[in-house]
Amino acid sequence: MIHDYKFDPAIKDRRRGHGRGRFVVLALAVLAAAAALLHFSGALDGSRNNAELQNPEIPTVGLPADEEQSAPAGHKVSIPLELPPARQTTPAAQPAATPAQPAPQPQVERAERSLLQSMPDTSAEEAVAQTGDKPGEQAHAATEHDTAAMPEMGPRWLTHTISRGESLARIFQARDLSASLLHRIVNSSKTAQQLADIRPGQELRFLLDDENGLEAMILVKSPVESLHIRATGDDFAAELVSKAVERRIASATGTIESSLFVDGQKAGLTDAQIMELAALFGWDIDFALEIRAGDQFRLLYEEQFLDGEKFRNGPILAAEFVNQGKTYQALRFEDDQGSTGYYDAEGRNKRRAFIRTPIKFARISSRFTPKRWHPVLKRWRSHKGVDYAAPTGTPIKATGEGKVIFRGWKGGYGRVVIVQHGSKYQTLYAHMSKFSRAKAGSKVKQGQIIGYVGKSGLATGPHLHYEFRVDGVHRNPLTVKLPKSLPLPESKLAAFKQQTAPLVAQLASVAQGTMVASSEQ
């Protein structure tokens, strides 16, 4: 089954992770059994993904050559690798450019060849096979390692793991690939431009012919996503290939005996999931002070699978926490714009609309006053916000979700950002030393960094001047009655109910399961 994924460039990664994979599978089996007991089945959208996965239309680049079993017999890719006769007897140590070697293949033939193949599965191995030799260890070596001193046996894949601080230009140079080639590839299309976005730890694979000509390359961006580029004559075809991720629902449930952390782990949750759970109810429950023995939690979360093996946890989909007899719920909802949030059963956001202060660990240096003496302007002025003294460079966070409506320089404010929250509220952050990436017009989340403390404009020292406006009127940010949470707009409520109803039902069945289990004890 696995070998059907012959185009899968990440197949090697998966094999490497096999040992751990088995462990995960074992753990999963236990979970799955538990889930089955609870009448809990569930591929969320696995079928759709599978359909995509099996779609033979998806053009992909071939595989590294060491995947011998994956090349099916009669696969159309077998490139006519007519090795020049001299080559067959070329000793292994022969240098790359021998004068006696024939001229490179004409351009036309090369182009045709590239179009023919959905991509060369072809490898050194096949090449050797065609010349009548046995595919041997040499062929493997040629694909696994850098092969400056390897025999020339047609196209071969080379793999390079990107390290910190490395640039594409340098990688190309090290491979003896020209800077102009890189330039042409990156500028060949929008998709190909993504090649410039490399990260440490990612893998680059090059398919090089025996003249060190680049036939194809793959940037393995993640276990799921890779960018495939192949030469088509003078041009390049680029394509982003995503592997189908199968999503399943898993559940966990537990009762607090010692702490959320310990009992969360007992319930099979990872540390990250425990943090996520605590954050969901962070506005409802003070987990340091209010948690009690006997409190209960249950949750549904997503598990993501690649080719049948668990690859990571997805988000929590629904959760319930019973704290001192009171039940809190959090349901994940994705609206038609693709933005997600957590809401209670009535559609009220789990987060309060605003956090009180935009920076951590800051001292209030000046409060909201209708009138005060301005030390720089040397006259009486009202102070319509709160000043927080903090070192230059301290991150400033948006106190609520909203949209940046102004980012720029405004007289005495210096560098200032104004965020609009719904139709009623505005927050303003002044004297910044620099802005974050959030430009005017962009949406920001609560807690997202929008800039850094400074003393631009009229300021005696580095501080944040913060204003809170309700319907255009300045209010004291420290005392203004903040809206508890913003409910979903009426227009989204129906979709919310529809999307979360099955989760609520499943959560209830998990709860029931718990009760049955505990009454049997």
Give residues 151-180 in contact with Zn ion (rule: CB under 5 A): none
What's the min distance (Å) between Cβ of 418 and Zn ion? 15
What's the min distance (Å) between Cβ of 477 and Zn ion? 11
The gap between the terminal CA atoms of the chain, to the nearest Å, is 43
Contacts of 117 (CB under 8 A, 6+ apart): 62, 76, 77, 79
Residue 465: phi and psi, rounded to 5, are -100, 120
Q: x-or-dash pattern for Zn ion, window 318-357, by CB under 5 A? A: ----------------------------------------
Q: 214-218 long-range CB contacts below 8 Å, 24 or more apart?
A: 214/177, 214/181, 214/185, 215/114, 215/120, 215/155, 216/61, 216/62, 216/119, 216/120, 217/185, 218/9, 218/61
Q: Which is nearer to Zn ion, 67 or 387 (CB)?
A: 387
The residue whose two tokens read 């080379």 is 158
What's the min distance (Å) between Cβ of 463 and Zn ion? 7
CA 277 to CA 267: how far, in whole Å? Answer: 13
What's the min distance (Å) between Cβ of 218 and Zn ion? 54
Q: Which is nearer to Zn ion, 218 or 432 (CB)?
A: 432
The residue whose two tokens read 């340091």 is 288
Q: Which is nearer to Zn ion, 276 or 387 (CB)?
A: 387
Q: Which is nearer to Zn ion, 8 or 387 (CB)?
A: 387
Report H helices in 403-489: none
**Residue nearest Zn ion, Cβ-based:** 465
Q: Which is nearer to Zn ion, 248 or 465 (CB)?
A: 465
Q: Which is nearer to Zn ion, 412 or 483 (CB)?
A: 412
- Distance between alpha carbon 376 and the CA centroid of its chain, in Å? 47
Q: Which is nearer to Zn ion, 159 or 427 (CB)?
A: 427
**Binding test (CB under 5 A) with Zn ion, winner from 221, 397, 407, 465:** 465
What is the largest distance, in Å, between two alpha-carbon atoms of the chain?
A: 95
Q: Which is nearer to Zn ion, 222 or 366 (CB)?
A: 366
Q: Per CB under 5 A, which region of 29-37, 93-101, 246-254, 458-466 contacts Zn ion?
A: 458-466
CA 379 to CA 135: how far, in whole Å? Answer: 88
Q: Which helix (H) or strand (E) holds 430?
A: strand 425-432
Q: Which is nearer to Zn ion, 14 or 431 (CB)?
A: 431
Q: Which is nearer to Zn ion, 75 or 367 (CB)?
A: 367
The torsion of the CA quartet 290, 362, 356, 424, rounded to 10 degrees, works out to -170
Q: Per CB under 5 A, which region of 37-45, 259-267, 398-406, 463-471 contacts Zn ion?
A: 463-471
What's the min distance (Å) between Cβ of 181 and Zn ion? 55
What are the tokens at 16?
């490497």
Q: Which is nearer to Zn ion, 150 or 432 (CB)?
A: 432
Q: Which is nearer to Zn ion, 386 or 419 (CB)?
A: 386
What's the min distance (Å) between Cβ of 460 and Zn ion? 10
Amino acid letter, residue 202: Q
Give residues 186-245 in contact with Zn ion (rule: CB under 5 A): none
Q: x-or-dash pattern for Zn ion, window 353-392, by CB under 5 A? A: ----------------------------------x-----
Q: x-or-dash pattern for Zn ion, window 385-404, by CB under 5 A? A: --x-----------------
What's the min distance (Å) between Cβ of 496 and Zn ion? 40
CA 1 to CA 14: how far, in whole Å? Answer: 14
CA 297 to CA 433: how far, in whole Å? Answer: 44
Contacts of 14 (CB under 8 A, 6+ apart): 21, 223, 306, 307, 309
What's the min distance (Å) between Cβ of 375 and Zn ion? 11
Burial class (CB in 10 A: 0-12, 13-18, 19+), 410: middle
What's the min distance (Å) between Cβ of 366 and Zn ion? 5
What's the min distance (Å) between Cβ of 385 and Zn ion? 5
DSSP 38-72: TT---BSSHHHHHHHHH-TT-------TT-GGGS-
What's the min distance (Å) between Cβ of 462 and Zn ion? 12
Ramachandran class of 212: left when φ > 0, alpha when ψ lies in -120 to 50, beta otherwise: left
Rule CB under 5 A: say whether 474 interacts with Zn ion: no
Q: Which is nearer to Zn ion, 154 or 462 (CB)?
A: 462
What are the tokens at 114?
């590239």
What's the min distance (Å) between Cβ of 387 and Zn ion? 4
Size of the site for Zn ion (CB under 5 A): 2
Q: x-or-dash pattern for Zn ion, window 51-90, by CB under 5 A? A: ----------------------------------------
The DSSP letter of residue 104 is: P
CA 170 to CA 206: how far, in whole Å? Answer: 14
CA 274 to CA 260: how far, in whole Å? Answer: 7
Q: Which is nearer to Zn ion, 125 or 387 (CB)?
A: 387
What's the min distance (Å) between Cβ of 480 and Zn ion? 16
Q: Which of 242, 332, 214, 337 is nearest to 280 (CA)?
A: 332
What's the min distance (Å) between Cβ of 473 and Zn ion? 17
Q: Per CB under 5 A, which region of 191-199, 339-347, 461-469, 508-516 contacts Zn ion?
A: 461-469
> Under the rule (CB under 5 A), what is the footprint of Zn ion?
387, 465
